[in-house]
Structure 1
Amino acid sequence: MEFNDVIAKRYACRKYDVRQVEKDDLDAILEAGRLAPTSVDQQEQHVYVIRSAEGLAKVDELSECRYGAPTVLMVTYDTTDVYEYPGGRYDSGVEDASIATTQMMLAAADRGVGSCWVNVFDPDKVRAAFGLADKERVVAMLDLGYPADDAEPSAKHSRRKPIDELVTYL
């Protein structure tokens, strides 16, 4: 698909086929996350691939938003290995993990794999449930799977504000 087609057609999939994401597709999606740009090339993000029944059951306990996806990517970052912006109020962790997640969503769409960015969870509870180190912060869980035959975008998907409400030239 052309890039503009990928971004126009991608939607938050909330209904999945039961078949597992094929290795070639998953590898391409993960590679897109690995290649994501990061602040001063810190590459502090980490992706956990959750596919086991036990892991998916934990996800279901922590969030109501798996929608039957056979794979969930948990995207974290190392809070001790971030770029701190001038002024000391912000660091690069959330944005770098978010960029990686976005690239993986778009790579999934390009390969016909549905995705849904899940942020309906308590990051501390997720970190504890999966036994992650205290220095890791969970930014997103990305549902992945082939869309069910009757999957479709939400009614709000195509509603977009006009560009002049979103962009100001200074």
Structure 2
Amino acid sequence: GSIGPSGKLPSADDPELSNMQFDELAELFREQATGLIQGGVDVILIETSQDILEVKAAINGVVKAFTETGVWLPIQAQVTLDTTGRMLLGTDAQATIAILEELPIDVIGLNCSTGPEHMREPIRILGEGTRLPVSCIPNAGLPLNVDGQAVY
């Protein structure tokens, strides 16, 4: 079952983006995870995350849902990086490893982002730097404007 981003960036300085506390975010993710567990999913996929603090809140909420339901599933945590290999608020692949390996996840990875060509180096870093299995689920990338048409 997939848990996507909340649209909030708890690490941001912008009050419009960071106007939710960590515990509030964790509670939202707990509710989502509980619904997914009750629906019978076999893995929890935290994906398309752009703020590492939001990923931590999601994992915290998922673990609370596991505790409450008595059902424990694998957690796959995936972040989204830009063309410079960083999350929206600056976290790079190496920092992502250092932070997420300390949390109860089973798979670490990347998804969406700017397409497969910009994910090669960060995936190499993850693969060489983590003890966890690595996932990579790219999207089509950023479109090019060719004669007024979006081409991928």
TM over 0.5: no
Q: Normalising by the residue count of structure 2, what TM-score does the alignment of the two structures yield? A: 0.29
Q: Normalising by the residue count of structure 1, what TM-score does the alignment of the two structures yield? A: 0.27
Greater relative contact order, per chain length (Cα 8 Å cut-off, separation 6+): 1
